Structure formats: structure tokens, C-alpha cells
Amino acid sequence: MQATDKIWRNGSFVSWEDANVHILTHALHYGTGVFEGIRAYDTPKGSAVFRLTDHLERLRRSAALYQMDLGYSVPELAAAVHETVGVNGVPSCYVRPIVFRGAGPMGLYPGDNPVEVAIAVWPWGAYLGEDALEHGVRCKVSSFRRIGPNTLPPTAKATGQYINSVLAKLESSRAGYDEAILLNEEGYVADGSGENVFVVRGGVLYTPPTSASCLPGITRETVIRIAHTLGYEVREVNLVRTDLYFGDEVFLCGTAAEVTPVASVDDHPTGPRGPVTKQIQETFFAIVGGQDERFADLLEYPVRAAV
């Protein structure tokens, strides 16, 4: 991980090295934090944050589920994100806002622990590797099931719930795969350890509905809009593992993974990158690079003070 200079913490900047927490931080023991993964891209008009408001709205909803008051409005946090990107001089970077219950009383009731808010940024290339963007990743259907709406609601991004993804990731990695795809408790496809899943078959895109215990991904929503714009039909339907095996094309999408083709699932070939995936991927990268006016509304730039 490439360190940057400053981390925004509760309204002011601290140095990267000093952005520490107490060992009795509630979130460290019980997973009582919520976070976002966002990307800023360098565009011809300067650094732009992709769907920043939508990400921060999801952060606000995640915090609300765990009864945490952010203490800042979404526009205030948006300004803080732009400022953190600017002060660190990283126009293209990954942005990680986190809200968590800090040190205070120990025990499961978190209501008396302080809510801390921080924003870190750092340069981060292709999450699953540069090569994967062209050649795809080898996926394994995990033996661990995805958390459900009545256990740890997957609609939120709570830190503690990611131990589910970590189990799947460890398992797939030990078995020699690049990424895990999780099924939900009913056995339908949910999502990857940190990505949503799409299958292309007969020129139609299929993706699990958000009721299938996947995160309502912001990239997923963007891919659906891209697909419609390009004239493809998208069906949000329950998928079973063999739909992955026998898809013409399969790809993953997410803020970190962007649009990454899947080369195989449980060793059934689904790659190399197919024409639909390539077209969606190229459109996605044009959008985030500020080169597709049809989607200019998805990029958010810092508001400059009038001179």
C-alpha cells in the first residue's frame, strides 16, 4: 500500500503515521464500523470522484442501520473527500471513508462509545491485477454462504460483516483461485467477495437482484445504465451456479475491481474477455476518465471558490 501524507479525521488533518486508534476501540472488537470504497480519477477537467454523493448516501444509510450519527452532512463529507484528495496530491486514487465506534465502555451496547469519522486516500491500481482487466480472473464458488438480510444485512457496508468475504477469499486463495463468488442461503448467486456479478448469455445481461443478498453496488447500477445505453437487455433474476459455468461471458464489477472479466468459474471456462464485457469495460473506463459526455453527471468535481 502506498502511503499518502494526510488523513482526514473528525474534521481536521492528521499525518498518515499518526492516524491511530486505541486498542480498546469498540469497532476493533465487535466490527461496529461502516465504510465506503470510492475512486477518484484524473480527467481532462481535473480530479473527479465517481458517484461521490451516491457513495456517501450509502455510507449514511449504513451508519443509520447501526444507529451511528455521522455528525456531518453528505455535502460536508463530499467537501472533505475532495479536500483529502487535493491535499495529498493524488488526483487518481482510492478513497476510504470509515465511521466507527471508538474506545469507551466495553460490551456489546455501542451507544455510549464515540463515533469517529475518517477519510483516507491512496493510489490503488487494478484491484485484481492489470492483467486481469484483459485476461480475466479464475473464480471459485465459495463453500461459505453469503450473509443474509436477517443476519448481517448485506445492503449496508459494515466492517464486521466483511469477515464473511474474508473467509471466502481465504478459501479461494488457498485453493489457487483469484476470487470467490458466494451463494446466498437459498443457494442462488449473491456476489463476489467484493464485487457484483454479471453473466452474459445470448446477448442479454443477467445479474442477481439485490434481494439475493448482494450489495446494491454503485458500479452494478452504472453497468446496468451502460448496458441499456448500448442497447442491451438486462435481467435482474436469481442465478444458480451453473448459470455462471455456462454463461457466454461472466464479469465482476465494483469500485475496486472496476469491470473485470471472469476467465473461469470452478474451472469451467468463461473467458477470455468476451465482446460484451469488453464494450461495457471500455465504456466504463471512458466514463470515469471523463471522456463520455453521456455519463458526465456521474463525475463530481471539487467546488472551486469564486475569485
Ligand X SMILES: Cc1ncc(COP(=O)(O)O)c(C=O)c1O
Q: Residues interacting with ligand X, by CB under 6 A?
A: 37, 165, 191, 194-196, 214-215, 217-220, 254-255
Q: Which is nearer to ligand X, 84 or 255 (CB)?
A: 255
Cβ neighbour number for residue 87 with a 10 Å cutoff: 15
* Residue 162 Cβ vs ligand X, minimum distance, rounded to whole Å: 7
What is the Cα–Cα distance from 123 to 2, expressed in whole angstroms? 6
* Residue 199 Cβ vs ligand X, minimum distance, rounded to whole Å: 15
**31, 164 in Cβ contact below 8 A?**
no
* Residue 201 Cβ vs ligand X, minimum distance, rounded to whole Å: 21
* Residue 269 Cβ vs ligand X, minimum distance, rounded to whole Å: 24
* Residue 255 Cβ vs ligand X, minimum distance, rounded to whole Å: 3
Q: Which is nearer to ligand X, 27 or 218 (CB)?
A: 218
Provide the annotated active-site residues: 157
Q: Which is nearer to ligand X, 52 or 113 (CB)?
A: 52
What is the Cα–Cα distance from 79 to 83, expressed in whole angstroms? 6
DSSP letter for each residue of the chain = ----SEEEETTEEEEGGG----TTBHHHHH--EEE--EEEEEETTEEEEETHHHHHHHHHHHHHHTT---SS-HHHHHHHHHHHHHHHT-SSEEEEEEEEE-BSS-SS--TTSPEEEEEEEE----TT-HHHHHH-EEEEE-SSPPP-TTTS-TTS-BTTTHHHHHHHHHHHHHTT-SEEEEE-TTSSEEEESSSEEEEEETTEEEE--GGGT----HHHHHHHHHHHHTT--EEE----HHHHHT-SEEEEEETTTEEEEEEEETTEE--S--HHHHHHHHHHHHHHTT--GGGGGGEE-PPPPP-
* Residue 171 Cβ vs ligand X, minimum distance, rounded to whole Å: 15
Q: What are phi and psi of 69, to 5 degrees?
A: -90, 120
Q: Which is nearer to ligand X, 119 or 214 (CB)?
A: 214
Q: Which is nearer to ligand X, 102 or 251 (CB)?
A: 251
